[in-house]
Amino acid sequence: MSYKGKFRPKFPEKYKGNPTNIVYRSLWELRFMRHLDSHPGVIQWSSEEIIIPYVSPMDNKIHRYFPDFWVKTAAKGGVINTMIIEIKPHAQCKEPVKQQKITRRYINEVTTYGVNSAKWKAAEQFCLDRKWQFKILTEKDLGLDKR
């Protein structure tokens, strides 16, 4: 089974961008896309269409972050909410536990967490400036954890 592919929306008019070129990079993203496409409270959405600059802690240079989703919803009373959503494994959302023996795996985990943290901090500020919300969803939020 492929974990990457193209998503074909049932309601392409809800997609902000080119609805014939929606790419998912995980089965979690695919599941979330299906939810966004079919949920009546979602007015508009897009995937990897927004660019947020951030400074990487690895090289102190400016890089570009493409968050997974931009979503506009209508809540009760006509309130419009806009948010940026990132989908990540729960394990990548917490700081790695410091180890006595430094392994290649530990270095990769620290690097991934450091870069992700820089991206998320930039996304939080980007959203704050626009009165949007920033959310990170994990397999637990999507009801996909295997407990």
Residues known to be catalytic: 29, 68, 88
Cβ neighbour number for residue 32 with a 10 Å cutoff = 23
Q: DSSP letter at 28?
A: H
Q: What does the alpha-carbon distance between residue 88 and residue 66 come to, in Å, rounded to a whole number?
A: 13
Q: What does the alpha-carbon distance between residue 119 and residue 127 come to, in Å, rounded to a whole number?
A: 12
Q: DSSP letter at 71?
A: E
